[in-house]
């Protein structure tokens, strides 16, 4: 067994995340391989040291000293549901429309609406990524204009 696999299995077992059958196989492996047992014991000792450190210094595991709830957040809570609905509508609409286009278009590129003559700002077009990663924004080279 590769050391990385052993470490992963030992840690999962230590955290109680191995199914009983896998735990039994791991125990069998450790019994049959003293070197693996020694490595597992070393790893468990390190984990225990870390656990003991955190237990001794609970500050390490605490996120932070809680700040007083800001008044602005109290206000937001009252309208949070409405806001979430609005946000979901907006972003779901965005994703849905983009997805529709990505699935239906026959054209590999498309250009945004033409800016008014003399606009100096960067222009972009959507283009299909040749690597197949979907749509990407491509800067259109601009020619400077003076007004």
Partner 1 sequence: MKPSRWLLPILLLAAGCYPEERVWWSPKGDQALVLLADGLHLTDSDGRLGEVLTDPALPKDVSIKSAHWLSSGEAFVARRMLRVHSWEEVRARIPATEIREIEVSLPLVAPLLQTAAQLGSEPGALDALTGGLTERQATRLANAVRLLFEREPERVERLLLALPKGLDWVASLRDSGAGYEIDELCQYTLEAGRVSRVHSLRRSLLRPASQPRMSPHHPVLACLVAGEREGDLDLQVLHLQDGTTRTMAQKVSEAYGWTPDGRSLVFLAPLGGEGEKLQSLHRIDVLGDNGVPATSSQPQTLATALVLNRSALQVLSDGRVLFASLPVTLPATEPDAEFAPRLFLADGRSVKAVPTAAGDLPTNLGWFVASPDGRRVAVVESETDAVAVVELATGATRILSPAHPGWQCRTLPAWRSSEELSYAGLTDDVPSLLLWRSDAGTRRLSADWPAESTASWLEYHKEETSSPPAKQP
| Binding residues for partner 1 restricted to 50-109, rule: CB under 8 A | 50, 53-54, 56-57, 59-60, 63-65, 67-68, 70-76, 79-80, 83-84, 86-87, 89-91, 93-94, 97-98, 100-102, 104-105
DSSP string, 96-109: HHHHHHHHH---SE
Using CA atoms, how far apart are residues 34 and 43, in angstroms rounded to an integer? Answer: 14
The 8-class DSSP code of residue 131 comes to T
Among 15, 21, 133, 139, binds partner 1 (CB under 8 A): 139
Among 13, 29, 37, 47, binds partner 1 (CB under 8 A): 47
Nearer to partner 1, 21 or 139 (CB): 139
* 40 class by beta-carbon count within 10 Å (0-12 exposed, 13-18 middle, 19+ buried): buried
């Amino acid at each position: 067994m590769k050391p990385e696999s052993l470490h992963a299995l030992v840690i999962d077992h230590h955290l109680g995340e191995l199914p009983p059958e896998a735990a039994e196989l791991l125990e069998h492996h450790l019994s049959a391989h003293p070197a693996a047992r020694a490595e597992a014991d070393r790893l468990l000792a390190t984990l225990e040291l870390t656990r003991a450190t955190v237990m001794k210094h609970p500050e390490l595991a605490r996120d932070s000293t809680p700040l007083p709830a800001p008044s602005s957040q109290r206000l937001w809570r009252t309208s949070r549901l409405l806001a979430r609905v609005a946000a979901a509508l907006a972003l779901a609409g965005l994703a849905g429309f983009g997805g529709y286009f990505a699935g239906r278009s026959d054209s590999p590129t498309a250009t945004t609406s033409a800016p008014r003559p003399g606009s100096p700002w960067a222009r972009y077009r959507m283009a299909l990524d040749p690597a197949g990663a979907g749509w990407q924004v491509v800067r259109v080279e601009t020619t400077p204009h003076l007004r």
